[in-house]
Amino acid sequence: MKKAQSPYNQRNQFSNFHFEDDRNNKTKQQSGSYSALKNIKAAVKKVFTVLLFRRKVNSKAAASVIDPRRNSNRIRGVSSSTDRSSGSTDTKNSSKFKSSGSYGSSTTLSGIIETKYFSYEEISKATEKFSQANIIGEGGFGIVYRGRLGDGSLVAVKRARKTGSDKLLQLEFKNEILTLSMIEHLNLVRLYGYLEHGDERIILVEYVGNGTLREHLDGTRGNGLEIAERLDIAIDVAHAITYLHMYTDPPIIHRDIKSLNILITEKLRAKVADFGFARLSADSDATHISTQVKGTAGYLDPEYLKTYQLTEKSDVYSFGVLLVELMTGRRPIEPNKPHNERLTTRWAFQTLKRGEAVLVMDPRLRRNAASTMAMEKILRLAHECLAPLRQSRPSMKKCGEVLWGIRKEYRQVAFPPPPTSHYSANFPVRDPKMTRQQTFGIEDDDNYKFVSA
């Protein structure tokens, strides 16, 4: 029986677009990434002269264009300290794994992640020999299992299909490893390691066991998300994308921001997952990157589709679609709805323009002055994110700031402070029946008067 699509790897031939690269554009990507990669190599070489890998990731890899013909070599990570692991030393059956140190940092240098060695046998044991009982999803990349490492840590184990000749899967596998090895943030899934040995390609990432945002919006997970919880999730995602755009070198463009790639923790906070489509900006000063089009229908930047020019603003567009999804509870494309409601963003904005925004609010949300106010403001922000021209869209940093303001205003309206007393909060309020001496320990004095706050 076919499993549900994995919350860690959503691929679908109907919802995702794949077009071949324009080979003439690769030369531009290579040259832009050289200087940034050169600085990284110099820093690593100064600290680790012998212990770490000697293989150079060329400029194509730095630009996230990894030649699938080089699949015989293993992508290796960079370590910020010596390996303290006592894992397997059998090079025949083991491959380099990575685990992160100060998780949650937003200033981690690209590629500085501890390395560990684990064998295929250890991964097999963690998943109980890849038992069907441990399958938590299935996508285009392969099957995802829940695993428990020897130290008790839960992980999601993404095992690629053994197609051998599928160069796109090989490219996606190496692309995700390269990207995850460069990032570390509280709202991004954490890379534990990977294995590439023989025909096995396995990625281990942080296990987030409370499903995807889409499952929560559909009502198949949890008890429904309130407006405050949806605001928190939107802010978490904004923080994650801002980090990718501003605090990695070179900047990272996710390219597949959608509710199926937003994992929800037990505390109803968000972690962005699935970096198989992520792209490293070849040059932080470049105005665009010409590339093959990848993404999911309904979330794709139309200007990117038209020009093949990818920028950080393409992620901003997808984030705008996500905001509408959060407020309406609907998917971006609803083929079973009436004709004028099939494109959710268009329907929502037309209704907002008529002054009837409350009609698009997710039926699961409680309607009150605070929630209606927040929803209208979020939809207006989403409208800015979906501007046809990329230069008219706000940055992700600006989106996060606006959402912070909306959340603050929502709390003030939903939970107004109690009415203040006539007296100062720092001044004792006395019982009128008590004398001044009883209240303040002083003798009556005609010159003593209360001063109102």
Which residues are catalytically annotated?
A: 256
How many degrees, rounded to 5, is the angle at CA 84 between CA 78 and CA 90? 85
Q: Which residue has the tokens 């990695």?
A: 248
33 sits in the region (left: phi over 0; alpha: psi -120 to 50; else beta) called alpha
H or E element, residue 193: strand 191-197
Pairing label, strands 200-206, 191-197: antiparallel
CB 137 within 8 A of CB 144: yes
Angle between helices 312-328 and 344-353 (to 10 degrees): 70
Q: Please tell me whether residue 66 adopts helix, strand or coil conformation.
A: coil
The token duo for 333 is 């494309």
* φ, ψ (nearest 5 deg) of residue 234: -60, -40
372/376 Cα distance (integer angstroms): 6
CB 278 within 8 A of CB 245: no
Q: How far is CA 354 from CA 35, 88, 109, 235, 377, in A?
A: 51, 65, 48, 27, 15
Angle between helices 369-385 and 396-414 (to 10 degrees): 170
CB neighbourhood size of 24 (10 A)? 8
> With 0-12 CB in 10 A as exposed, 13-18 as middle and 19+ as buried, what is 428?
exposed
